[in-house]
Structure 1
Amino acid sequence: MATVSIRDFSFIPGQLTVAAGDTVTWTNDDGTDHTVTADDGSFGSEPFGRGGTFAHTFAQSGTFPYHCDIHPEMRGTVTAG
């Protein structure tokens, strides 16, 4: 399982590589609500606040860019292979 921290209006790390079948968990360590939303709409969270989490399993190989719907300048990429 891999983790991404959301803090200072950033996804850390912004680029993550995992094996196909792995689950990534995002944790909001920021003081405001955020979402995790695939650019292609294939996965996404509702807004969640500090201490909240969102998890997604990347069942297939590929490159999955994502963003925060609330703060679209926040961007990240998961590569599953």
Structure 2
Amino acid sequence: MGMEIAMLRRRMAAALAVGALLVSGCSQSRPVATSAAPTTQVSVTAPAAPVRGDQVTIDGFAFAPTTLTVSAGTTVTWTNRDEEPHTVAASDGSFHSPGMGTGATFTHTFSTAGTFDYVCSIHPMMRGTVVVTG
């Protein structure tokens, strides 16, 4: 009978240990990782008014100003301030720069009146316009 009692005690001890583990797993709170929902900010701006001058900057995958107004005979200079190469290519084919690395410039003299749309041929979503007055 002594051996039966020892076996019974071992079984009870094992059952208590398993029960304690189950209860401790259920009762212990664990930190839950949470993260803030991503936010997106959108700003809407009116199209830029035409700017006078003779300089266009390329920065942030955009031409600035987007629209430039000059007199016939004006030489316009585009300067690439972006980290990526860009080009300046007239939609009508009247001018086209080579690939321009950071700091490179391209010039074109507008001798006739008209509206000249241009793009970056590497990144065609980049668009600009030069309006030449007589």
TM-score range, shorter chain: over 0.9
**Aligned: 1:10 with 2:55:** no
Higher relative CO (CA 8 A, sep ≥ 6), structure 1 or 2?
Answer: 1
Root-mean-square deviation over aligned CA pairs: 0.7
Aligned identity (percent) is: 57
Q: TM-score, normalised by structure 1?
A: 0.98
Unpaired segments ≥5 residues, structure 1: none
The structure that has the greater radius of gyration is 2
Higher strand share: 1
Among candidates 112, 118, 123, match of residue 71 of structure 1: 123
Q: 1: distance between equivalents of 2:92 and 2:112? A: 15
The 5-angstrom pairing of residues 1-81 of structure 1 reads: 2-81=54-133
Q: 2: distance between equivalents of 1:42 and 1:16? A: 17
Unpaired segments ≥5 residues, structure 2: 1-52
Aligned residue pair count:
81
Q: TM-score, normalised by structure 2?
A: 0.60
Runs of 4+ in 1 over 2 A off after TM superposition: none
